[in-house]
Amino acid sequence: MGHPISIPGVEVMVGRKFTESKRVVRALQKIDESDMPEGTLGKEGEKLSQNPVCYRAYVKGALIAQSPFLTRGIEQLWDSETDMVFLKDNEDNPFLPGSSLAGVLRSLFKGAAGENEMFGYLSQKTDQSSRQSCLITYDCFLADDSALSFGVRDGIRLENDNKVTARNAKYDYEIVEGGARFDFKLELVLRKNIYDDDKKRMELFTLFKSLIEEMRKGIYLGSKTNRGLGLFKLEEQEPKPDAKGPRNHTSIHEIYGVGAYEKYVEFDWKKEYLFSPYDESKMAKDGGLTAGKRREELDIDIDFPATVLIRNYDGKDVKMLTSKGEPVIPGTSWGGLFRHTARRILIELYRDAGLNCDDGKVKANTLIEEMFGTSADADKQTKHKDKKASRVAFSDTIIKDCKQFKQTNVKIDRFTQGAADGALFDQGVVALGNTRLTIRYSEDWMKCLLRLVLEDLDDGLIAIGGQTSIGRGLCKLKKGLCADEEGSSETKTKDGESSCKLDHKTCGYEALYEKINEGVSP
């Protein structure tokens, strides 16, 4: 999206190149400001628009990647050895499309006052009007001083019943590691019919201010945002030595009132002295706040009493998966574990409700797809309109305070009981340590089902990662996880350590019970 810039005079943006327009310069030279209403542009005695622009706000800042991310591009356009690649600009750097940012922001405030005016809408009927968006979202390009590192992650799909890797279900994808910094630009344009309406103007000021606050809290962009990727936050920019104005905040430049057209023509994103701290602007002072639609969260502190292995292949050797040098359990691993275990629990609950095994599996699969999204098996047979995204999200978890070591292994020949020829290999393993898992969910029955899975995890009935059959991946929930929540209690193990248990009569169990009985005939 473009806008005029004076370097000098007026220039018109075409894509990412600038060409000077003498016609616009001559038109602006004939403007007599005294003959025009506030905020309007036009020749002397003649309006350029019946609904002129009366207010513009340019906001700039920095979007910082708090986690790895993947804005997926088209694999055929880039020479890549992975199945999924990230979107690149003309300099082969990752960038965040403005269309993705606009979609995420709109979803956060769907149904809020002023949504249609802020984001616009396209009528599907010819006899109804459409509206242009008041919000202009720019592509976010990598900042000049940004750190940048890449990684590749492997993914597999496990069979539902036996936890064996499905055939032809291995894939890999590129990621950009957290810490990348992107230049963020946003523009709000209010025309006369909205700006002169006090109610509409305040609704849009409130909505715009709320967008900024939600981005400060954190938003998710790109692919696999339900599995630990794509968390970004709008953060304060570092002050620059050569800047002529304050640059220690998300900054804004507002244009309205007498002389607006001159400010508009002179505007340039690179002119630092034009910008002032956002929190001191008319927008921030006049607007209220509307809460965005966010899921509820569970924060679980976890200890690892033994070893953990999340495989990352390097030739024939196996390494522990890392993110910027630190061992990590990706959200995809947590999501797979919780989906598999939740399905088993639901089958047992449907059996207790009186269904036979086959019918229970069908009902459980339906509920699992509602909660965790359409599976890869069903994806090929499901129409696009019937596909479902996951309604629970799992964060990546960095393992802290752990010990990393290399373990040498050898394959034993089952006939001779000696070492097999050429079967010596190493694998990197993590021992002990702790982490924090954040789960976001949408409904109460989902919370209770998640907590039932956590009980199994705390009891050692399930484990995370690879080689769980030889004791890896066991977890213990830390003290205090459940004690602060209604419907839970803290007990002591035989070793004197705390363990959290659920009271199934509270803690939302009724919601799960009702959900199960919706599809069970009396």
Decide: 339 and 372 in contact? Cβ < 8 Å.
yes
Decide: 451 and 507 in contact? Cβ < 8 Å.
yes
Predicted pLDDT of residue 220:
92
Decide: 18 and 12 in contact? Cβ < 8 Å.
yes
pLDDT of residue 33 exceeding 60, the answer is no
Predicted pLDDT of residue 29:
43
Residue-wise burial string across 55-73, b where 16 or more C-beta atoms lie within 10 A, e elsewhere:
bbbbbbbbbbbbbbbbbeb
Mean pLDDT in residue range 338-351: 90
What tens digit of pLDDT does each residue of 432-473 get? 899 999 999 988 889 989 999 999 999 999 999 888 888 889
What tens digit of pLDDT does each residue of 181-200 get? 999 999 999 988 888 888 88
pLDDT of residue 390 exceeding 50, the answer is yes
Predicted pLDDT of residue 223:
87
| DSSP classification of residue 38 | T
pLDDT of residue 423 exceeding 90, the answer is no
> Percent of the chain, pLDDT > 90?
16
374: confidence class by pLDDT, cuts 50, 70, 90 = confident
What tens digit of pLDDT does each residue of 66-87 get? 999 988 776 555 566 777 777 8
Mean pLDDT in residue range 306-313: 85
Predicted pLDDT of residue 156:
75
410: confidence class by pLDDT, cuts 50, 70, 90 = confident
Supply angle C-alpha 221, 225, 229, rounded to 5: 90
379: confidence class by pLDDT, cuts 50, 70, 90 = low
296: confidence class by pLDDT, cuts 50, 70, 90 = confident
Q: Residue 479: exposed, middle, or buried by beta-carbon count in 10 A (0-12, 13-18, 19+)?
A: middle
Q: Which two tokens stand for residue 163?
A: 């936890």
Looking at this protein, which amino acid is placed at residue 354? G
Q: Kindly list the distances between the CA atom of residue 378 and the CA atoms of 21, 22, 371, 383, in Å, as whole numbers in the listed order.
A: 55, 59, 14, 10
The stretches of 55-151 forming alpha helices (DSSP H) are 98-108, 115-119
Predicted pLDDT of residue 295:
81
Q: Categorise residue 115: left if φ over 0, alpha if ψ from -120 to 50, beta otherwise.
A: alpha
Question: Would you give the distance in Å from CA 57 to the centre of its chain?
Answer: 26
- Residues 377 and 216: their CA atoms lie apart, in Å, by 38
Return the higher-pLDDT residue of 324 and 386: 324
Return the higher-pLDDT residue of 147 and 472: 472
pLDDT of residue 304 exceeding 90, the answer is yes
Return the higher-pLDDT residue of 505 and 470: 470
